[in-house]
Structure 1
């Protein structure tokens, strides 16, 4: 199941939507910003199966 999550790019600050697959549990991957094309590190944490996943984005070089 894919959930829509609103994030702000850590480089350009533009708001955008990510599709997150919470069924894969905790994950970390790199995804390019849809606006400025800079690489963002996306971290997904699932604390409880019945709750929404917590999504955090940061600059790849942080």
Structure 2
């Protein structure tokens, strides 16, 4: 069974620090989730390191990723 990973991100719009849960099946995926504070759409890019750890990068709509 896959375990969810808790990651800390910073909203690219309001700068608020947020805790998000990432599913390992999302590795290699890109998706949009609204900020829990300012409600703006955050672009998430989930990758997996060689060690099997998940990393999350977040971008605003006007940033290239």
TM bracket (short chain): 0.7 to 0.9
The answer to whether the Cα contact below 8 Å between 2:26 and 2:46 also exists between their aligned partners in 1 is: no
**Residue in structure 2 matching 1:22, options 12, 19, 24:** 24
SS for the counterpart of 1:11 is: coil
SS for the counterpart of 2:52 is: coil
What's 2:8 paired with?
A: 6
**Structure with greater strand share of residues:** 1
Residues 5-62 of structure 1, C-alpha deviations (whole Å, 9 max, x = no match): 00000000000111001233211000000000000000001133x4321100010222
TM-score by length of 2: 0.84
Structure 1: 5+ residue stretches without partners:
none
Structure 2: 5+ residue stretches without partners:
none
TM-score by length of 1: 0.87
Tell me, in whole angstroms, the C-alpha distance in 1 between the residues paired with 2:41 and 2:17: 15
What's 1:32 paired with?
A: 34
Aligned residue-pair number: 61
